């Protein structure tokens, strides 16, 4: 299994262009939000335990295996995003909620593909679907690096 730095370094290879990076900062959080929004609309469970929260918990386990430090940050972000999802689900009703999530999802993916067109490289997930889970970690790892917070046992600014 690849370690967190291998995943992040490999993901970085197709995200070097500053415009593509900016687009990813703008588009990845709404994609995560929309996926959770779709999962929340599955009519099982409660507000607290449902397809979205169970999937989020599974993602957190995967992230913790890669980097418990990043998993803590992701958990905080997940709580914020899920709050928006739950508000949308409650305020809009299922049908309007799904339409809103679909609009966000499509717009954000259009942005992602525009970014990769500018970059001149295919999205990483074409190589390995796990990169769909690595994208959010890549953003958070950048935040950690800027704050000089380590993502693993190595110094925060350490290369590769």
Q: Is residue 103 part of a domain?
A: yes
Q: How many domains does the chain have?
A: 1
On whether residue 101 sits in a domain, the answer given is yes
Residue 156 lies in a domain: no
Tell whether the model's pLDDT for residue 158 goes beyond 50: no
* Angle (deg, nearest 10), helices 131-146 and 68-119: 110
Nearest in space to 36 (alpha carbons), one of 131, 108, 140, 123: 108
d(CA 135, CA 77) in angstroms, rounded, equals 14
pLDDT over 50 at 42, yes or no = yes
Quick: pLDDT tens for 113-147.
999 999 999 888 888 888 899 999 999 999 999 99
pLDDT tens by residue, 10-24 = 999 999 999 999 999
Q: Is the dihedral of CA 86, 90, 91, 92 positive or negative?
A: positive
102 domain residue, yes or no: yes
| Single pTM value for the model | 0.90
Mean pLDDT of 38-42: 97
* CA separation for the pair 15, 25 (Å, rounded): 11
Range of the domain at 71: 4-146
Contact 118, 70 (CB under 8 A): no
Q: Is 34 among the domain residues?
A: yes
Enclosing H/E stretch for 125: none
Say which residues have a Cβ less than 8 Å from residue 132's Cβ, sequence separation at least 6.
125
Q: Is residue 160 part of a domain?
A: no
Q: What integer pLDDT is reported at residue 126 of this predicted model?
A: 85
Looking at residue 160, what is its pLDDT?
42
Examine residue 135 and state whether it is found in any structural domain, yes or no. Answer: yes
For residue 157, pLDDT over 80 is answered with: no
Percent over 70 (pLDDT), the chain: 95
**pLDDT tens per residue, range 67-86:** 999 999 999 999 999 999 99
Report whether pLDDT(155) > 70.
no
Q: How does the average pLDDT of the chain come out, rounded?
A: 92
Q: Is position 46 within any domain?
A: yes
């Amino acid at each position: 299994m690849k370690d967190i730095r291998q995943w992040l370094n490999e993901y970085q290879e197709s995200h070097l262009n500053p415009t593509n990076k900016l687009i990813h900062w703008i588009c990845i959080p709404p994609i995560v939000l929309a996926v959770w929004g779709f999962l929340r609309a599955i009519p099982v469970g409660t507000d607290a335990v449902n397809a979205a929260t169970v999937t989020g918990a599974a993602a957190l386990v995967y992230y913790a295996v890669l980097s418990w430090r990043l998993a803590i940050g992701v958990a905080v972000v997940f709580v914020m995003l899920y709050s928006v999802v739950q508000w949308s689900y409650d305020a809009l009703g299922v049908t309007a909620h799904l339409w809103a999530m679909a609009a966000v999802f499509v717009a954000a993916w259009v942005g992602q593909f525009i970014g990769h067109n500018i970059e001149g490289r295919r999205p990483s997930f074409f190589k390995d679907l796990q990169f769909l889970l690595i994208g959010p970690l890549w953003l958070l790892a950048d935040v950690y690096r800027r704050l000089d917070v380590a993502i693993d046992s190595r110094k925060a600014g350490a290369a590769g």
